[in-house]
Chain A
Amino acid sequence: MYDIEKIHLAKSVPDAIAALVKDPSAVVICGGSDVLVKIREGKLAGCSLVSIHGIRELEGVSLEPDGTIVIGPATTFSHVTNDPLVEAHLPALGDAVDQAGGPQLRNIGTIGGNVCNGVTSADSASTLLTLNAELELTGPDGVRRVKLENFYRGPGKVDLAHGELLTAIRIAKADYDGFGGHYIKYAQRNAMDIATLGCAVHVKLTADRSAVEELRLAFGVAAPTPIRCHKAEELARGREIGPDLFQTVAEAAAGEVNPRTSWRASKEFRLQLVRELSRRALKQAIIHAGGAVEC
């Protein structure tokens, strides 16, 4: 039995925004896999909810004429994974969200909720960062766009005002075309777990596939929010595929992240994972980009 004071089942985006504006204490719920947990824990007990579950315009993945892929925030993890556009162009993202929780969670949890939740462990976040994802936010005063990297404001805090909804996740063609990607979720269990560390890589190789043209490297749980490692990326630019590349990226990444010691894992352990996983994820991403790696 959940302690919910009231719920407004929004029919459309404007309806949801109006309901939120009317009720300053209202909380947005979509799949419920985060919100219901908080209600059960008592943190949101007695809350007022505005449900955006079932609003069709927020669901599904589409391709714009310029090649931009638009992911509806209410698209469930399993629908993201199985979407043909994602399979064709964003396989690393499909793979990343397929590692969240278990099948039941992936059938209800949404990619938009995962982003707006703002937690550093979100399985979609680091891969979306490496895709330079842009968020479309719709509020009572209209629509604005913000880069995902600028969306995070602190642990669990995002640049989303009350009354605003995430209405689209946009990935430009230049940010996925020609890239190979890979995400490694490091957790204690192979399912139903939260990442101890998440490492996402997208890499574009030079025409002869011998060197890195562009690297994008991001981590979850290596800092208070999901973060990109721009210095490591710069150091990788133009570097030949080989031990030096992997060593350089691993060490640079370890210097750039800011993991903390908690009862879940020590800073030292997480740094070891940052070094090791950046090597492994980069190797796999290079293979996905058509390159060859000597093990």
Chain B
Amino acid sequence: MGIGKSITRVDAYEKVTGGAKYTDDLRPANCLVAKVVRSTIANGLVKSFDLSEAEKVPGVVKIVTCFDSPQIQYPTPGHPWSVEPAHQDVADRMLLNRRVRIYGDDIAAVVAEDEVAASRAARLIRVEYEEYPAVTTVEQALAPGAPVIHEERPDNLLAHSRFTIGEGDFDEIVKADPSLRVFEGEYDTQAVQHCHIEVPVSYAYMEKGRVVVVSSTQIPHIVRRVCGQALGIPWGKIRVIKPYIGGGFGNKQEVLYEPLNAFLTMQVGGRPVKIELSREETFSCTRTRHAIKFKLKTAVRPDGRLVARKFEAWSNQGGYASHGHAIVANASNAYRHLYQDEKVLDADAYTVYTNLPSGGAMRGYGIPQVDFAMEAHMDDIARGLGLDPVELREKNCMKPGYVDPGTGITCYSSGLLACIEKGKAHIHWDEKRAAYRGQTGPVRRGVGMALFSYKTGVYPISLETASARLILNQDGSAQLQMGATEIGQGADTVFTQMAAETTGIRLEDIHIVTVQDTDVAPFDTGAYASRQTYVSGMAVKKTAEKFKARILDYAAYLKKRPADTMDLRDSAVVDAHTGEKLVELADLAMEAFYSLDRSVHITAEETYHCKDNTFSFGCCFAEVEVDIPLGKVKVLDIINVHDSGVLINPQLAEAQVHGGMSMGLGYALGEQLRFDDRGRPLNGNLLDYKLPTARDTPELNVGFVETIDPSGPYGNKSLGEPPAIPPAPAIRNAVLDATGVAVDSLPLNPQKLVEQFTAAGLIQ
């Protein structure tokens, strides 16, 4: 009764009327304000501070520096903890860092009565540094004699991984078969930022010897763990509360300033202290999407069949490990998933420390990068072979039944070919490909497309665990409590639909608890990896089944008949065969609460340990108009078509795709974090960072192909991240179709296009 319906978001009214409480809305009246003091160099050592002028500022309560904070290195990514040390995240930063590794590194903090006092004092702090040359590129960081950024990694190489799928040597395969065509390309992607509306914000206070942290986070249970690790105190001494949050997109799948916030309240006797970053700090001092450079080499038969490929990728990590090598490793895995080779694929991936802001998790987790490179390369191959780009892809793409040799992840369901058909039909692919051939003149049009595949959750790389709880009320309604988090994506709504579907309780009688409080919320690692409908959804289903069984058990007692002859439908216990109503759930609940004979508070709580994974798919088709002399690309038409299995809430699913496409458009055409050669951010603000506005956004068309995935709780698979993946390569390929110019780096911004059009002789 809940699945597949476009019910109104359960939080719509609260959010639209301003009733929904976000972190800053909940801040206590006597809250102090902390400002982080940031390094003005990107690489070096803090020698000393002069706090004398800062301490004189009225309203300053406390200044702490990297010389008087815990010297404990801790990890920050929102990964499930591993009990095996070899699989634990890299612990390479402290609450405040003496050894400065990025411009704007956290070196001290001022706690004051208000923001003005804190900012004034922060500006007056004098810092003496020992400065080292800044390293901003992978090439610089790997060069012999480069400054060492972390002493644990003297070569600045955070990690290198490689794999071979299939057998044979690329060069020998090519030598042995002269009919093979070889294509090579280098593709480069840029660092971008999440640009969630609500900046990272938290406040912390002490209560009965424990620290309470209220934070805008995707991962409250992980924040609790990392606060404990960073401060060296028992995890049970930390309580994390996550209210409504205004977007995260992976930047809040990271423990950012919560540990420092917890430390600061401990320094001021437990008084509440707030840390709210500015937008500029968010750009330069939180996390970014990794810039990754790819070198691809492919041997292919003239008919388009892929025979052998080589893949190399270099990921610019920035100053701290954060999610680190997991990103480019995920990218290299995806390279082997979407297309398979007749003979062999060799892949090498490197993650390299530099002095730029740290790369972390961002919607798509390495896949938008590799999809750009892979799908640009596929179009280059198709062009070289004179094949239709769609035909080339159809010939080589993953089919149902595929089993990833590295992880065992199985393709249980695929609507990919049907997605392609839908996309082609929408954009009028064949007609427009023909119509746009041989254009001349300054303004030209073209069509392009790209595919993607995406896993659902992190199994078997990491633990997948989720829990849920249902609690019956006297009126027959129930609270649904999740460890998984609503971060704007609509999780609370779809969990509500799932609970109604499986229990038989009416949708309006399921009250989801939106706040996660680690003292009482069941355990779940949080919102990331497009995992929640799949993994946490199964926890809802399992809990709902147990809850329903307990209700029917009570009905068996009440009605003196076997539980398995009854069912719960529309909030009433009915005869399972005839549907005849036996007792309203509300009446049953009253009896269960207050019975003098048998009082039971009916609840259920289950953990689901997920040991499976599945692929979702989709494509983007785009039509562009290129104004060559001005280097401008106008997207005339664009559609994403997705196979995410069964849609729990079609309207929310469509909204999810809109958001992702918008991110993909920005990634394709304008967004790019820029730095000077000293690692200083040049455009870390919303004016100079070209996030598209509503007026830059064409109508976003969305299509779905609904398969039923046998491994998903309701036939569903991932949808959260995938929509952001294919627009950039589709637009790049459309520009190629329009102009014949293959742009091999993102973004396709006007200056780059004018340069490349000039080089190609399109501009005199």
Query: Measuring CB to CB, which residues of chain A are less than 8 angstroms from any residue of chain B?
Result: 1-3, 42, 45-46, 102, 186, 188-194, 196, 263-266, 268-269, 272-273, 276-277
Q: A45 to B57: give the CA distance in the assembly, Å.
A: 14
Decide: B630 and A186 in contact? CB cutoff 8 A: yes
Indicate if B590 sits at the interface (CB-CB under 8 A). no
Q: Which residues of A contact B114 (CB under 8 A)?
A: 1
- 5 interchain residue pairs of minimum CB distance: A190-B695, A1-B115, A191-B695, A269-B751, A276-B629
- The distance from the CB of B608 to the nearest CB of chain A, in whole angstroms, is 44
Per-residue CB contact flags for chain B residues 737-764 toward chain A (1 = under 8 Å, else 0) read 0000000000001110011001000010
Indicate if B21 sits at the interface (CB-CB under 8 A). no
| Besides A3-B120, A272-B758, 11 other A-B contacts (C-beta < 8 A) | A45-B123, A186-B630, A188-B690, A189-B670, A189-B690, A189-B692, A191-B695, A193-B690, A194-B688, A265-B751, A276-B630
Specify which of B631, B693, B754, B755 is in contact with A192 (CB 8 Å cutoff). B693
Q: A196 to B492: give the CA distance in the assembly, Å.
A: 43
Decide: A42 and B123 in contact? CB cutoff 8 A: yes
Q: Which residues of B contact A194 (CB under 8 A)?
A: 687-688
Decide: B690 and A45 in contact? CB cutoff 8 A: no
Q: A250 to B630: give the CA distance in the assembly, Å.
A: 14
Supposing A45-B123, A188-B690, A189-B696 touch, asked if A3 and B629 sit within 8 A by C-beta, the answer is no
Indicate if B237 sits at the interface (CB-CB under 8 A). no
Q: Which residues of B contact A193 (CB under 8 A)?
A: 687, 690
Q: Which residues of B contact A42 (CB under 8 A)?
A: 119, 123
Indicate if B72 sits at the interface (CB-CB under 8 A). no
Closest B-chain residue to A270, C-beta based?
A: B751
Q: Which residues of A contact B692 (CB under 8 A)?
A: 189
Closest B-chain residue to A269, C-beta based?
A: B751
Specify which of A188, A263, A272, A273 is in contact with B674 (CB 8 Å cutoff). A263
Q: Which residues of A contact B686 (CB under 8 A)?
A: 192
Decide: A45 and B119 in contact? CB cutoff 8 A: yes
Q: Which residues of B contact A268 (CB under 8 A)?
A: 755
Query: Measuring CB to CB, which residues of chain B are less than 8 angstroms from any residue of chain A?
Result: 114-116, 119-120, 123, 629-631, 670, 674, 676, 682-683, 686-688, 690, 692-696, 749-751, 754-755, 758, 763
Supposing A45-B120, A269-B751, A272-B763 touch, asked if A188 and B670 sit within 8 A by C-beta, the answer is yes
Q: A276 to B676: give the CA distance in the assembly, Å.
A: 30
Decide: A190 and B693 in contact? CB cutoff 8 A: yes
Supposing A1-B115, A194-B687, A263-B682 touch, asked if A272 and B693 sit within 8 A by C-beta, the answer is no
Decide: B629 and A191 in contact? CB cutoff 8 A: no
Decide: B749 and A188 in contact? CB cutoff 8 A: yes
Decide: B693 and A191 in contact? CB cutoff 8 A: yes
Decide: A3 and B116 in contact? CB cutoff 8 A: yes
Decide: B751 and A263 in contact? CB cutoff 8 A: no
Supposing A186-B630, A189-B693, A192-B693 touch, asked if A263 and B670 sit within 8 A by C-beta, the answer is no
- The distance from the CB of A34 to the nearest CB of chain B, in whole angstroms, is 12
Q: A276 to B631: give the CA distance in the assembly, Å.
A: 11
Supposing A42-B123, A189-B693 touch, asked if A266 and B751 sit within 8 A by C-beta, the answer is yes
Q: A266 to B631: give the CA distance in the assembly, Å.
A: 13
Specify which of A192, A265, A277 is in contact with B687 (CB 8 Å cutoff). A192
Decide: A191 and B676 in contact? CB cutoff 8 A: no
Decide: A188 and B687 in contact? CB cutoff 8 A: no
Closest A-chain residue to B691, C-beta based?
A: A189
Decide: A269 and B694 in contact? CB cutoff 8 A: no
- The distance from the CB of A88 to the nearest CB of chain B, in whole angstroms, is 27
Of listed B115, B692, B695, B751, residue having the most chain A CB within 10 A = B751
Q: A190 to B690: give the CA distance in the assembly, Å.
A: 11
Q: A79 to B631: give the CA distance in the assembly, Å.
A: 33
Q: Which residues of A contact B674 (CB under 8 A)?
A: 263
Decide: B630 and A191 in contact? CB cutoff 8 A: no
Q: Which residues of B contact A190 (CB under 8 A)?
A: 693, 695-696
Q: Which residues of B contact A276 (CB under 8 A)?
A: 629-630
Q: Which residues of A contact B676 (CB under 8 A)?
A: 263
Supposing A1-B116, A263-B674 touch, asked if A269 and B754 sit within 8 A by C-beta, the answer is yes
Provide 8 A-B residue pairs closer than 8 Å at the C-beta atoms, listed in order of the A residue: A42-B123, A45-B119, A188-B670, A189-B670, A191-B693, A263-B676, A266-B751, A273-B630
Supposing A186-B630, A263-B683, A272-B754 touch, asked if A3 and B119 sit within 8 A by C-beta, the answer is yes
Q: Which residues of B contact A192 (CB under 8 A)?
A: 686-687, 693
Decide: A191 and B116 in contact? CB cutoff 8 A: no
Specify which of A191, A196, A277 is in contact with B694 (CB 8 Å cutoff). A191
Q: A170 to B696: give the CA distance in the assembly, Å.
A: 35
Supposing A1-B115, A3-B119 touch, asked if A264 and B693 sit within 8 A by C-beta, the answer is no
Decide: B116 and A188 in contact? CB cutoff 8 A: no
Closest B-chain residue to A42, C-beta based?
A: B123
Q: A272 to B763: give the CA distance in the assembly, Å.
A: 9
- The distance from the CB of B641 to the nearest CB of chain A, in whole angstroms, is 27
Closest B-chain residue to A4, C-beta based?
A: B116
- The distance from the CB of B137 to the nearest CB of chain A, in whole angstroms, is 16
- The distance from the CB of A225 to the nearest CB of chain B, in whole angstroms, is 20
Q: Which residues of B contact A273 (CB under 8 A)?
A: 630
Q: A89 to B326: give the CA distance in the assembly, Å.
A: 62
- The distance from the CB of A174 to the nearest CB of chain B, in whole angstroms, is 34
Q: Which residues of A contact B631 (CB under 8 A)?
A: 269
